[in-house]
Amino acid sequence: MGRHADYLRGKLAEGTMILAGPVADPAAGPWGLLILRVGSEAEARAVTDGDPVSSSGRGFRYEILPLISAIL
């Protein structure tokens, strides 16, 4: 998971990622949340496809959903 974390830290440094972290879901088990600042789904897909965890063969996957609004 070190390469995954390093990749996400890089996205944070470049301003593409806003937040990432694990979610403790009692029903489904733990999963990760990643919030990106991108202009399109294609840009989001490029970020997730570039994450080493996506090609690790360990069953990790991303679901991309738009955030309608946010209060920061």
Confidence (pLDDT) at 1:
73
pLDDT in tens, 12-61: 999 999 999 999 999 999 999 999 999 999 999 999 999 999 888 888 88
Q: Are 7 and 34 in contact (CB under 8 A)?
A: no
Q: What is the pTM of this model?
A: 0.86
Q: What is the DSSP letter of 53?
A: G
Confidence (pLDDT) at 34:
95
At residue 63 the predicted structure's pLDDT band, cuts being 50, 70 and 90, is: very high
Sketch the domain layout of the chain as residue ranges: 2-55
Confidence (pLDDT) at 57:
82
Confidence (pLDDT) at 23:
95
